[in-house]
Amino acid sequence: MSGAEQVKTQQKQTNCRLCSYLCGLKANITKGRIAGLEPDPERYPYDTAIVSGCHRFHANLEFLEHPERLNHPLKRVGERGSNRWERISWEQALDEIAAKLLDLRARFGGETLATAIGGPHTTFWPLHRFLNLFGSPNNVGIGQICWNPSIWVNSLTFGWPLENEVDLERTGCLLVWGANPAESDNSLFWKQVRAYRQTGKPLVVIDPRRTRTARLADHWLAPRPGSDAALGLGLLHVIISERLYDKHFVADWCHGFAELSCRVADYTPERVAVLTGIEADRIIEVARLYAGAPAASIFHGRGLDQLGANSMEVHRAIACLKAVTANIDRPGAALVSEGPAYLAEIDLELTEKLPPEQRAKQLGRERLQLQTYESYEALTRLTERHGKRLPARYLTSAQPNLVWRAMLEADPYPIRALIVSGANPLISQADSRLIHAALKSLDLLVALELFPNSTSVLADYVLPMAGSLERPVLQTNAGDADIAYGGPAAIAPLFERRCDFDVWRELGLRCGQEEHWPWERFEDSLNAIVTPLGYSWEEFCISGLHAPPPQYEKHLDEGRGFATASGRIELYSCFLERFGADPLPGHTPTDAADAFPLTLISGGRKQPYWASSFHYLQTLKRPNQRPTAEVSLSTARQCKLHEGQEVEVATPWGTALFSLRIAEMRDGVVNVDYGWWFPREELAEPHLGGAFVANANTLTTADFASADPVLGQWKYNNLPCRICPAEIQEPQCASEEPVAPQAKENH
């Protein structure tokens, strides 16, 4: 190779950004373009097999150079949804958007702006910072059904969130509950589960479906969807009635054991067997396995966050299971996390800049018990005893249904603008028909995006985002632990793509926020975040990981205890009692509906997609892959259906079409794929890329009146449904991506 040729090629450290694990990579760069990628064994996850075995990793180069990527700012020139655009400059786009925002704020107040954010290509705190400074409490996310329940429960029970551990030597029993890391993780945790299975120690998977993860287990429990809280109470009943709990730990460190014992007394294995459909002897067996292990760990997933009123209940039951067996802050069980030693997200989002009168405009605050600024501030007064503060924006985010209603009905005030950052709410949020009407009603809709999608086609402005390999990344898990990982961009953003930080900063400068955006570049802000650790951003990128070794039994430190009202683990929650919620875990039964005799799980994820993302990428296509509805063989026979048949799934809120797959799972349950749309089809109205064809969220609702009052949670699981053969008007086309079937006109 000549010297000139050597100059043309260089290798740089970088990180994948096609999921939240940010695996370390090496990029071979030639003439400003990435010619190849390989895993970096010297950086997280320190295992080339994990990275090489990931479907998404291999899609990075197609993702970067894809012909459908958004490369320039666009402004709508036709009717909303017509998919007609003109290319404009960044300066024009930002000037016009800021001017419209300022005009709307002058007329309606800061609360007239809402935002919706998703991942994995966004950084949350710049959006939160802008929104707080603008004066709006209205950020729409999915926190209430992903992350918030466990963060709230563990913080009010133990004084701070937990990290669950798998230690191949010390973990004696592992429960994976409502999670399927074989599909949703595909990284280090999935490797740990497989390695743990080889130890021969008990692995219990609790899931209505016999997933790839459940197939590893020697104990698979398949409860009725929505009955998980009853199962948790039944496990507690066995442990308490058989005196399998840690008596010394309970006496020294648990508050409310007598009250908990009374609550679970009625949840006998026999009664719980009726509620869950799991045999009583199996409930007893798992309770004994868990309580009898020297250390035991429970990992739970999004499936438990999507049960409506029962989500908080099952998380509370799991917290009590950990507490009464002393599986807290000990190796191989659960660790009470440390607060971050770097600049915390709460300090970056500037929630204190949102005036009290604007906080008081939080939608639904008069009914919500925890998901409010008042509850967050009360929780912070407790966690600050240990010098810790959780981010506010996640735990106070708006209930989505109320935001869409305020757009349509101006009640209690008009929301007239929405900025969407890396999200596709028409597909990813509950009640797609309502969202469609709400988005079309707006005065201003802006989308920060990577590819065109069903939401961005309705926008007034579409701004091209930098994505994986084009932007530095830092994952801090919102500052709920002293862990941070990430690294640099491999190359500068291609074309006119920009990092989302740059967009929020530029809008902030135009909206009078100059003093609060001191960093000119995203890298400058990252440098400020890691500086308290004692090194610069460039130095951090060498290893790309900050993860101090865990410290156990911290409650034994003199005068420390737990950061709760009682100073102990609160089995009986004084905090919940203060805000009008049940201080003990319980279970809310679900009534069956005659017209909808089956039970729907509507949030099923499958690799290699991420929610509604990556459907453009040919690298990730699987032959003949279609959105599927899964049922057991018995249920298929009962409904007179067969494998591969096109079926219609209906709920009280809508219908959608899927291809039937027969799977090993609980009878009477239907599991539909989440996040499906058809980008190869017409994006313009009325089709919107097949947004209403196989979209699980045409089957859901987040209606606030029926939502859980604690967090405002809605249900994605345990929904009444029915399934029948679909009426297809046109035959399926043979193409690289299947064309969406045509639904009946009244759908």
Q: What's the mean pLDDT in 558-585?
A: 96
Q: What is the pLDDT of residue 273?
A: 98
Is pLDDT of 746 > 50?
no
CB distance 57 to 442 below 8 Å: no
Task: Assign 3-class secondary structure to 468-533.
Answer: CCCCCEEECHHHCCCCEEEECCCCCCCCCCECHHHHHHHHHHHCCCHHHCCCCCHHHHHHHHHHHH
CB distance 79 to 104 below 8 Å: no
Is pLDDT of 394 > 60?
yes
Kindly report the number of other CB atoms within 10 A of residue 249's CB atom. Answer: 17
Give the model's confidence band at 594: pLDDT under 50 very low, under 70 low, under 90 confident, else very high: confident
Q: Does residue 622 sit in helix, strand or coil? A: coil
Give the span between the Cα atoms of 95 and 498, in whole angstroms: 16
Is the pLDDT higher at 382 or at 625? 382
Is pLDDT of 28 > 60?
yes
Of all residues in the chain, what percent carry a pLDDT higher than 70?
96
The Cα angle at residue 76 between residues 75 and 82, in degrees rounded to 5: 150
**What's the pLDDT tens digit per position in 504-514?**
999 999 999 99
Q: What is the mean pLDDT of the chain?
A: 93
**What's the pLDDT tens digit per position in 417-443?**
999 999 999 999 999 999 999 999 999
Q: What is the pLDDT of residue 119?
A: 79
Give the span between the Cα atoms of 427 and 454, in whole angstroms: 7
Q: What is the pLDDT of residue 3?
A: 52
Give the model's confidence band at 7: pLDDT under 50 very low, under 70 low, under 90 confident, else very high: low
Is pLDDT of 467 > 60?
yes
Asked whether the CA dihedral 42, 48, 50, 54 is positive or negative, the reply is: positive
Q: What is the pLDDT of residue 591?
A: 73
Task: Provide the total of helices (H) and of strands (E) in the chain, helices listed first.
Answer: 28, 27
Give the span between the Cα atoms of 21 and 44, in whole angstroms: 9
- Token duo for residue 179: 């999670």
Of all residues in the chain, what percent carry a pLDDT higher than 90?
86
731-742 as b/e: b if 16+ CB within 10 A? eeeeeebbbbbb
Q: What is the pLDDT of residue 608?
A: 85
Q: Is 705 exposed, middle or buried (0-12, 13-18, 19+ CB in 10 A)?
A: exposed
Contacts (Cβ under 8 Å, ≥6 apart) of 199: 168
Q: What's the mean pLDDT in 289-314?
A: 94
Give the span between the Cα atoms of 160 and 390, in whole angstroms: 9
Is pLDDT of 52 > 60?
yes
Contacts (Cβ under 8 Å, ≥6 apart) of 609: 615, 620, 675
The Cα angle at residue 178 between residues 172 and 182, in degrees rounded to 5: 80
Q: What is the pLDDT of residue 245?
A: 98
Question: Which domains occur in the chain, in start order?
Answer: 3-65 (2.20.25), 162-336 (3.40.228.10), 598-725 (2.40.40.20)
Q: What is the pLDDT of residue 376?
A: 97
Is pLDDT of 584 > 50?
yes
For the chain, give percent helix, strand, coil, nearest 5: 35, 20, 45
Q: What's the mean pLDDT in 67-78?
A: 97
Enclosing H/E stretch for 656: strand 654-662
Cis peptide before 412 (omega within 30 of 0): yes
Closest CA to 587 of 360, 344, 314: 314
Give the span between the Cα atoms of 496 and 465, in whole angstroms: 9
β-bridge partners, 484: 546
**What's the pLDDT tens digit per position in 693-736?**
999 999 999 999 999 999 999 999 999 999 999 986 443 333 33
Is pLDDT of 741 > 90?
no
Is pLDDT of 740 > 60?
no
Q: What is the pLDDT of residue 145?
A: 87
Is pLDDT of 600 > 50?
yes
Contacts (Cβ under 8 Å, ≥6 apart) of 675: 427, 428, 605, 609, 610, 611, 612, 613, 696
Enclosing H/E stretch for 26: strand 24-30
Give the span between the Cα atoms of 201 and 218, in whole angstroms: 9
Q: What is the pLDDT of residue 275?
A: 97
Asked whether the CA dihedral 322, 323, 326, 331 is positive or negative, the reply is: positive
0.75 exceeded by pTM: yes
Contacts (Cβ under 8 Å, ≥6 apart) of 303: 177, 178, 179, 180, 207, 601, 603, 717
Is pLDDT of 237 > 80?
yes
Q: Which of 44-53, 82-91, 614-623 has the highest mean pLDDT?
A: 82-91
Which segment of 185-199, 333-347, 395-409 scores lowest on mean pLDDT?
A: 185-199
Q: What is the pLDDT of residue 143?
A: 84
Torsion angles phi and psi, residue 103, rounded to 5? -65, -45
Q: What is the pLDDT of residue 739?
A: 42
Closest CA to 463 of 478, 445, 436: 445
Q: Which of 4-18, 136-150, 214-228 has the highest mean pLDDT?
A: 214-228
DSSP 227-294: -HHHHHHHHHHHHHHTT-S-HHHHHHHEE-HHHHHHHHTT--HHHHHHHH---HHHHHHHHHHHHHSS
Closest CA to 417 of 77, 685, 99: 99
Give the span between the Cα atoms of 119 and 129, in whole angstroms: 17
Q: What's the mean pLDDT in 300-327?
A: 94
β-bridge partners, 299: 176
